[in-house]
């Protein structure tokens, strides 16, 4: 299959799709997939634009909103990771990935998906040691600090990606793996970009955990963006396999810049070119849900020498159990939904509304199916806004008096240990009032309850609290 790789998109979707159209016309080949390596700028409206960490002069609505509103349809299946210039409030709706528009799929904080049997892993954001060990604590309205830290990568995602054991074909990151310039023509790079010299000399250019991931997995390809120049490198695996990772960074989307590259990757022709979940990744998400934190404090990952489990590479039985949760079908549902109102250029009113993260139905469905938590909901619970928004009649009917509450039915049990990965304030809220997961509609309410009660079990916080002793070494 033909895959087009794009460096930073910077909101220029129309230009990118027009370029692909020209390539298709000139080559006679159809492009099957477009991959963007961050700075995608999926801004739906002015609120999203206000959440993007760029100087005001770069706050341009560009063209994404047309694909979001349905005015235009992405002509080629597009996937992307997040960079450091994003509508972070929108991306926070889809922490495990999801459609930001029809035919445009965001990978989430980290993900592994497949298409035509090709396995694509990715991690969003950029490296900053200051926030690496923290939970995903940021939420809008962002201040100048959280507007930036929100896109800093976290150890949870690195840890999860390190549990993968099966071969990865393509790996995506926004910034470059630390030290990658040593594996390419560094001198020529410095001739074009002399201001990289100090960082290269002090070995501070790029993302250290990404180089660890590269040297653990040796994917066939690693694509990146961020530094706005084209650079290629080959990282050899020093063993008998003689395999290598081909690294390529691309420029941003500007005229006469090298922002697009087409590669031909052999795929399984018996599998349709549609996006699918990766079973190993889903199982890792499920098994490590208890490691999710939304606190602004250090969130350690388990390591060798601890009391309990520290290796979450899934067993076959664990993967089979997760496959059953997905009814043996891993196809990613085409369940895009509009959440915030799209920008309307005809309207004299600038749609500056409340800056918030919507609970996205795509994430709710995914989390209910797998039995894991939506960080956006955990954040709402912590801030108290969840209770205001989501307490509904069904809960009032079933729990008419607080004293009669059955703690087993609560999202957060009052008996839970203080060392919760959530803030103590959460337990206070739980003591005062029932907190339930949001329900989309009646039928889904039933479905999610069935899911939670099924023999396969849920790994959400309810599960976690009942089984705290299993995890206490990991927190």
Contacts to Zn ion by CB under 5 A? 8, 39, 252
Could you tell me the smallest distance in angstroms from the CB atom of residue 378 to Zn ion?
30
10 Å CB burial of residue 13 (0-12, 13-18, 19+) is buried
Find, among 78, 59, 56, 58, the residue nearest to 68 by Cα: 78
Q: Measured at CB, which residue is nearest to Zn ion?
A: 8
Q: Which is nearer to Zn ion, 53 or 431 (CB)?
A: 53
CB 407 within 8 A of CB 359: no
Q: Which is nearer to Zn ion, 116 or 125 (CB)?
A: 125
Q: Which is nearer to Zn ion, 112 or 126 (CB)?
A: 126
For residue 238, give every residue at least 6 positions away whose Cβ sits within 8 Å of its Cβ, in sequence order, or none. none
Could you tell me the smallest distance in angstroms from the CB atom of residue 9 to Zn ion?
8
d(CA 368, CA 362): 10
Pairing mode, strands 275-277 and 110-115: antiparallel
Q: Which is nearer to Zn ion, 131 or 252 (CB)?
A: 252
Could you tell me the smallest distance in angstroms from the CB atom of residue 195 to Zn ion?
16
Three-class DSSP category at 253: coil
Three-class DSSP category at 207: strand
Tokens for 76, please give them: 């080629």
Could you tell me the smallest distance in angstroms from the CB atom of residue 240 to Zn ion?
39
Half-sphere exposure of 272 (CA within 13 A, CB side): 7
d(CA 458, CA 452): 5
Classify the phi-psi angles of 474: left when phi > 0, otherwise alpha if psi is within -120 to 50, otherwise beta.
alpha
**Angstrom distances, CA of residue 118 to CA of 6, 82, 95:** 18, 21, 22
Q: Which is nearer to Zn ion, 20 or 227 (CB)?
A: 227
Q: Which is nearer to Zn ion, 8 or 147 (CB)?
A: 8
Could you tell me the smallest distance in angstroms from the CB atom of residue 192 to Zn ion?
16
User: If you compute the radius of gyration of the chain from its CA atoms, what whole number of angstroms results?
Assistant: 22
Backbone angles phi, psi at 79, to 5 degrees: -125, 150
Q: Which is nearer to Zn ion, 8 or 118 (CB)?
A: 8
Could you tell me the smallest distance in angstroms from the CB atom of residue 69 to Zn ion?
24
Could you tell me the smallest distance in angstroms from the CB atom of residue 454 to Zn ion?
44
d(CA 326, CA 279): 10
Q: Which is nearer to Zn ion, 100 or 378 (CB)?
A: 100
Could you tell me the smallest distance in angstroms from the CB atom of residue 227 to Zn ion?
8
Residues in the chain: 475
Pairing mode, strands 170-172 and 110-115: unpaired
d(CA 61, CA 18): 18
Three-class DSSP category at 435: coil
Q: Which is nearer to Zn ion, 150 or 287 (CB)?
A: 150
Could you tell me the smallest distance in angstroms from the CB atom of residue 353 to Zn ion?
27
């Amino acid at each position: 299959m033909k895959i087009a790789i794009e460096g930073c998109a910077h909101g220029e979707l129309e230009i990118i799709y027009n370029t692909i159209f020209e390539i298709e016309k000139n080559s006679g080949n159809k492009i099957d997939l477009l991959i963007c390596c961050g700075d995608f700028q999926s801004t739906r409206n002015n609120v999203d634009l206000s959440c993007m960490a760029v100087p005001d002069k770069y706050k341009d609505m560009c063209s994404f909103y047309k694909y979001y509103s349905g005015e235009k349809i992405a002509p080629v299946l597009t996937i992307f990771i997040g960079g450091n210039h994003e509508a972070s409030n929108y991306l926070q709706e889809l922490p495990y990935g999801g459609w930001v528009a029809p035919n445009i799929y965001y990978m989430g904080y980290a993900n592994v998906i497949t298409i035509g049997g090709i396995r694509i892993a990715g991690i969003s954001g950029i490296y900053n040691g200051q926030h690496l060990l923290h939970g995903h604590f940021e939420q809008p309205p962002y201040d100048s600090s959280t507007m930036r830290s929100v896109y800093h990568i976290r150890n949870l995602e690195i840890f999860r990606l390190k549990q993968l054991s099966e071969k990865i074909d393509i790996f995506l990151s926004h910034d470059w793996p630390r030290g990658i310039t040593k594996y390419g023509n560094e001198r020529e790079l410095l001739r074009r970009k002399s201001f990289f010299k100090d960082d290269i000399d002090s070995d501070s250019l790029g993302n250290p955990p990404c180089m660890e991931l590269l040297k653990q997995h040796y994917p066939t390809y690693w694509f990146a963006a961020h530094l706005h120049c084209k650079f290629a490198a080959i990282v050899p695996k020093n063993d008998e396999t003689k395999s290598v990772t081909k690294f390529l960074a691309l420029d941003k989307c500007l005229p006469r810049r090298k922002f697009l590259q087409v590669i031909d990757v052999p795929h399984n022709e018996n599998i349709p070119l549609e996006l699918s979940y990766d079973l190993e990744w889903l199982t890792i998400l499920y098994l490590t849900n208890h490691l999710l934190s939304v606190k602004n404090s250090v969130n350690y990952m388990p390591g060798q020498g601890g009391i309990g489990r520290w290796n979450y590479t899934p067993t076959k039985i664990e993967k089979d159990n997760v496959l059953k949760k997905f009814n043996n079908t891993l196809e990613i549902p085409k369940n895009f939904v509009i959440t915030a109102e799209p920008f309307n250029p005809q309207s004299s009113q600038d749609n500056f509304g409340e800056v918030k993260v919507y609970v996205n139905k795509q994430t709710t469905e995914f989390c209910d199916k797998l039995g894991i938590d939506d960080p956006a909901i955990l954040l709402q619970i912590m801030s108290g806004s969840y209770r205001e928004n989501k307490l509904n009649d069904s809960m009032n009917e079933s729990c008419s008096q607080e004293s009669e509450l059955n703690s087993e039915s609560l999202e957060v049990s009052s008996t839970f240990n203080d060392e919760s990965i959530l803030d103590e304030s959460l337990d206070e809220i739980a003591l005062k009032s029932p907190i339930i997961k949001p329900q989309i509609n009646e039928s889904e309410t039933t479905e999610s309850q069935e899911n939670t009660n099924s023999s396969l079990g849920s790994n959400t916080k309810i599960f976690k609290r009942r089984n705290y002793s299993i995890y206490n070494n990991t927190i």
